[in-house]
Chain A
Amino acid sequence: MNINILNTTLGVCLVGLLALSACEEAAIPVGVDNTPITLDTISFPVVKAIAYQSPPEMGKTEYLYFGKQDGFDFQYNLIKFDSTSVTANTPFSYFNDSLVVVDSLRLSLRFDKDSIASDAKFQLRYFPSGGDSVFNELESNYLNFNQAIASEIISTAQMEADSIDTNKTEVYLNFTLDSSIVNAFRDTSVLEYNRSFLVELANESSESFYFHSTDIQAGKQPELTVFYRQFLSDTVVLDTTSRSYLAVADISIITPPPISYEDSTTLSVSIAKGLKSIVFVDMGDWTLPSKSIVSSAQIIFNRVESDSIAQFKVISHPMTSDGDYERFASYTDDPYDEDLNYFTSTILIDNVLKINHRKVATEIGHKNFTNLGFKLQSSFSNDPFTTVKFYGINNTDSYPVMRVIYVLQ
């Protein structure tokens, strides 16, 4: 009996030892010779590079601009509102009901500042004949948008302060609209009615005014409010109530100033000027070994100016067509499409821009993608009026170059 107990105990201990197998290990230092997996590098020259201009793409900026500034002429702004309200998801067709009576509409824009230093007058138009689409936030510009399709002026307004509390004041531009406007919106024969407005200064001004757009991160986007009453019977009517419709798209139509010599002779990028640049990296017949991974494939640019600027991001994509590098040119439409699968966004650090295009470089190295060059443009998060210029290929010291670092088995 005792022997059995002893045997069982020892057996359990043995199993326990097996179960608790463990190691304490420190890596053994060895020489690098004859070990697999290696690092390799290769550098490619940028052999062609040029800046070009296309109409400014202002649809994703944080503000709607009015007036003039640094040679820019902010002509007018286009705003489109949602088809359903913020609360209750009320569509405009709701106002077709004979028991619903619209009293008025109000279009509000929030001013960038908290005080009023100007008595500038603004005016509002809309597009009763605009069909289902008036403008495209990403494509409309001063060259391709016809302002003449807008209606006569339907409202005018001046900025007015609205006290939020005793310490804080916000400034709004409030247009009051006649209830007849909503008749166009609620016309059920056009289900996707454009619901678009044009806002502009009533008179030319040398000042500039910034209002919050739909793309502002912390602010208040444009809003259209419908005030109405609902009849419960012929004699009983509810108090006036309202529905708010937020803007879903907006854009400032601006005319850029003339391009400077420096802008056209360097690799410049700017939203408001419509400046972009293209570069061609001569990667020859480079083949990335199979089973390799690109650690970085940086196209490196050096900024012309040496002063510090606020955080500035550059967006870059590979192009899907050949570029024209002969001379600086202005186009009515951007002639260069990009492959959006290889989007990169890079912050300028210490006036050096290092765009890591390792994803597309891998595909180029594996012969899955044709290298047609790369396009650079300013990020929509930047100040649209900032122009950043980089040295081109003619600079003897700070010319752009692509450096690839890769790890291979």
Chain B
Amino acid sequence: MFSSNRTIIFLLLLGVLNAQSVFNAYGLGLSKSTHHTASAGAGSIGLVPTFHPGVSFDNPATWPGLQFTYVSGSYSNRSIEIGSQVSSNYGNGFDKIQFVIPIQNRFAIGLSLKPVNDHNAYFKTDSTRINFQGRDLIFNKEFRSGGGILAGSFGFAIPMNDRMGLGLSFDKLFGSSRDEESLILNSVHYRLFNIKTYSGSVFNINFAGKFYDAKNVIVTGYARISMTREPVSGTQYQFDLFEDINDNYSFDTDDYPATIDVDTVKVSNIYAPSSFSLGLNAGFNNDLNVFGEFQLWTDQAINGKYTSIYKDQIGSKSHVGGGLVKFGKMGARSWQDRITMRFGIFKESYLLKNSGRKINEDGITVGFGYKFAATGNQLDIAYRTGARFMTNDYIESIQEITIGLSLGDIWFLRRRAKQ
């Protein structure tokens, strides 16, 4: 039974591999703001259109604007450099897999799979030397965490009137994570593991509306309210410390003690995200769009008694950002005119629940999209650079390249009747 669970856990862990960050060791780690490559290229949280005029893959209310059914995937490669550390950490993994079907320009349904948080961390302390009655004890510590929560999402879009649309989506949260703490004393590792599984759900109400439509400019507004339907609960498997004599990272018969206990603890209400987001977009007749976004995110979980490397947790987050998007034209003769260009700038601020300390993150993004083939296929590339830091603490320099591929096909669209 436990063996099959481990297999499932391993497969789930494999799915989310992002570059590590010290800050991911707080609670369940940092929540991800961006999922689709088109949004990433503009530094957007996904409210405003960045994929296609009037469409954001991350906002179901805008899906009816798609001309084709799409299968879309986004894959990122991230490098994080910590302070003056010479080497960088690299990590990669998928940001989103999505399938969206627009229906007669009025409705749409979609499925997606995306990581919700980033729990990947690997860090170690400097060596500490203590003198114990004439004997020098030298030790340091290592910590690793990985895995996290995934969201399997189902969404649909319905029209409110000819100017407004609504998108509703339901996110089933699931997944697992593992963290390992070890103390290395005179080259001998003392390790413990915690494995956690998660289950919960969230629903989102998305809104898109046309507020002002003039000859030269169209102003559209977007909003999202996310609420927790079922706070994340799960099971913690807390393994006791053991001496990893053969240093193979797992407990076996060569290790000390001969047996270790595993506490299986049911935990509930450990993660209950809710957020409110607003976005405004002004589209000019030269296809240039200017947008601004704002988001307030909080974790309203009431149970802080679950294990993480750092005992503090991310309690809330705010996001402010804006940028420019110039959409390419699908049918343009010149290949240059098929390119969508994106630029964005954003600032995020995380607040830790217990200590009240703040983690700040700034970023500048650029992105390109290229339309090809008759069914609206699009290749998107985004680059982001920025910094994440805590006052009087670590500074991380982040660089990220995201590649997205969206393949279109004709489903549920009106076709010409055969003569």
Contact = CB atoms under 8 A, between A and B. Distances in A.
B94 A18 contact: yes
B123 A10 contact: no
A207 interface: no
Given A32-B125, A32-B126, A293-B257, A14 B183 contact: no
Given A29-B123, A407-B190, 16 more contacts: A3-B373, A10-B377, A14-B405, A21-B92, A22-B17, A25-B90, A27-B122, A27-B123, A30-B22, A30-B394, A35-B141, A37-B241, A43-B132, A403-B135, A409-B181, A409-B192
Contacts of B139: 39
Nearest to B21: A28
Contact of A28 (B15, B97, B122): B122
Contacts of A292: 241
A405 B185 contact: yes
A391 to B, nearest CB: 16
Given A18-B75, A21-B14, A30 B188 contact: no
Interface residues of B, number: 63
Interface stretch (B81-89, B214-222, B325-333): B81-89
B124 interface: yes
B310 A34 contact: yes
Interface string A389-407: 0000000000001010101
B155 to A, nearest CB: 21
B92 A23 contact: yes
A17 B126 CA distance: 36
Interface string B185-214: 100101010000000000000000000000
B293 interface: no
B20 A405 contact: no
Interface in B365-412: 373-375, 377, 394, 403, 405, 407, 409
Contacts of B257: 293, 359, 362
Contacts of A6: 373, 377
Which of A26, A30, A31, A292 has the largest count of B CB atoms less than 10 A from its CB?
A30
A38 B140 CA distance: 9
A37 B182 contact: yes
A133 interface: no
Interface in A342-400: 359, 362
A36 interface: yes
B143 interface: yes
A23 B185 CA distance: 27
A190 B112 CA distance: 84
A176 interface: no
Nearest to B243: A293
B17 A23 contact: yes
B71 interface: yes
B89 A24 contact: yes
Contact of A14 (B73, B93, B241): B73
B51 interface: no
Nearest to A24: B90
Contact of B19 (A23, A293, A405): A23
Contacts of B240: 291, 293
Given A23-B91, A293-B242, A28 B132 contact: no
Contacts of A14: 73, 75, 405
Contact of B309 (A35, A291, A403): A35
Contacts of A129: none
B124 A27 contact: yes
Which of B85, B183, B407 has the largest count of A CB atoms less than 10 A from its CB?
B183
A84 interface: no
A105 to B, nearest CB: 47
B133 interface: yes
B142 interface: yes
A27 B123 CA distance: 4
8 contacts: A10-B407, A13-B405, A28-B122, A34-B311, A39-B130, A41-B130, A41-B137, A291-B192
B128 interface: yes
Given A23-B92, A25-B89, A28-B89, A295 B185 contact: yes
A359 B137 CA distance: 20
Nearest to B139: A39
Contacts of B241: 37, 291-293, 407-409
A11 interface: yes
Given A18-B75, A37-B192, A29 B132 contact: no
A242 B239 CA distance: 61
Contact of B89 (A10, A26, A409): A26
A405 B75 CA distance: 47
Contact of A17 (B22, B75, B85, B409): B75
Contacts of B17: 21-23
Contacts of B120: 23
Pairs A-B, 7 closest by C-beta atoms: A28-B123, A293-B241, A27-B124, A32-B125, A23-B91, A407-B190, A24-B90
A39 B129 CA distance: 11
A43 B181 CA distance: 26
Contacts of B310: 34-35
A362 B208 CA distance: 64
